[in-house]
Structure formats: structure tokens, C-alpha cells
Amino acid sequence: MDVKIEPTWKEQLKEEFEKPYFSRLAEEVRRQYGTYTCYPPARLIFNAFNLCPFDKVKVVILGQDPYHEPNQAHGLSFSVLDGVAFPPSLQNIFKEIHDDLGTDIPVSGNLTRWAEQGVLLLNSTLTVRAHHANSHAQLGWQTFTDAAIRQLADNRENIVFMLWGGYARGKSYMIDKNRHLVLESVHPSPLSANRGGWFGNHHFSRCNEYLRQHGKQEIEF
């Protein structure tokens, strides 16, 4: 199947594109987009990959599925378009960055600037029906995104994986902690963060310290 995705990722994931599950997934996604309002816009489904080539990935931040309300999702986990109010999880991410690194809270929740520095902002499920969280969770996306995580874990060195919440932390078994840094905490959503464990996790300073130690440019979060 000829999938329009960034070339280095196309090479890494070429076997996935030829598997029966991906053909079924693509067909069902086309049906969903043709029948319902779905997010992100179809042209942005692979935005995380397109903005962050395989060989440029320094950090992976794993989300669950896209925002399901209008004008929010654009293919990057936790990110929203310019001018859109920060969802609660993103508010808490920015608060922790402010407390951890001392930087100002940005005016935009558009995290394209992170992706372009080598942060793969990957949702496990890449599409969603409007107003229905996790509505595409059973379509087969997780098989595909798990394959992407494995390719990074097995074929790259010294990547920082940020796994927030039980769902993301459930992916840690795929990552060799002798080759990569795995940072785990509760999810930044208010329900989890306010119970403790999110604020003060220092993931962003720990990430940059690890990148420095391995001769990589820090991320300007």
C-alpha cells in the first residue's frame, strides 16, 4: 500500500503497510471519515511522523487518542492549534515545565515547535470520531503505533520515552532501559495530576540532562 508518510518512516514501517490488518484499518478509516466528522483532518493523520523523521527522534511523548472536539486535534499528542484554549492536560504540562525549567508558559498550545526539534508526539490511536473519545481505539491503530515504538526502541539509541498514565506506561515493556531513558509518571490530566505524582516529576529537566550527557541538543520546551 502506498501510504503518504515521511520517507524515513515509510522505510521503517514498510512491512506494516503490507500487512492485512493495515489494509483493513485504512479501509475502515476511509469509511469513518466518509460517514462521520472525524479528527484530525485526514491530511494530518500522520503529522507526528511527518514533522519528526525517524532518524531525528530524540524524545517520544505518548498519548492515547486525539482530542475529539472541533479545532483541537492536528496529529500531535497533547497539542492544539494556535488560538485554541489549552485543554486541562496541556495546562498541567505547561505548569510542570514552568516549575521544572523556569520558562514562561507559552501563548500557544501548538507543539509543532517541539516536533521540529525531535519530539515524536505520538498518539497510540491516530484518529477519533467527533465527540466520542476512544471511538477508534479498536480499529487497529495500536498495532501500527506499537510497531513504530519498537522500531525506535530496537534501532536507535539514547531516546527519551515519556510515558504518562497507566495506558502509556503499559508500553514500557517494549523499550530496553539500558539503551534508552524511560520516564514514567501519572497522567497530566487533572483527575490524575491533582492526586499527586505529576507536579514535581521533573521529566523535562531530566530529559534535557540525558540528552546533554549523550551529546544531543536539548529540547526547548
The rounded distance, in Å, linking the Cα atoms of 109 and 121 is 13
The catalytic site residues sit at 65
80 phi/psi in degrees, rounded to 5: -130, 160
Task: Check if the beta carbon of residue 59 is closer than 8 Å to that of residue 162.
Answer: yes
Closest among 66, 16, 77, 12 to 42, alpha carbons compared: 66
The grid coordinates of residue 195 equal 492526586
CB burial readout 185-210, b (16+ within 10 A) else e: bbbbbeebbeeeebbebebbbebbeb
- Alpha-carbon 158 to chain mean position: 18
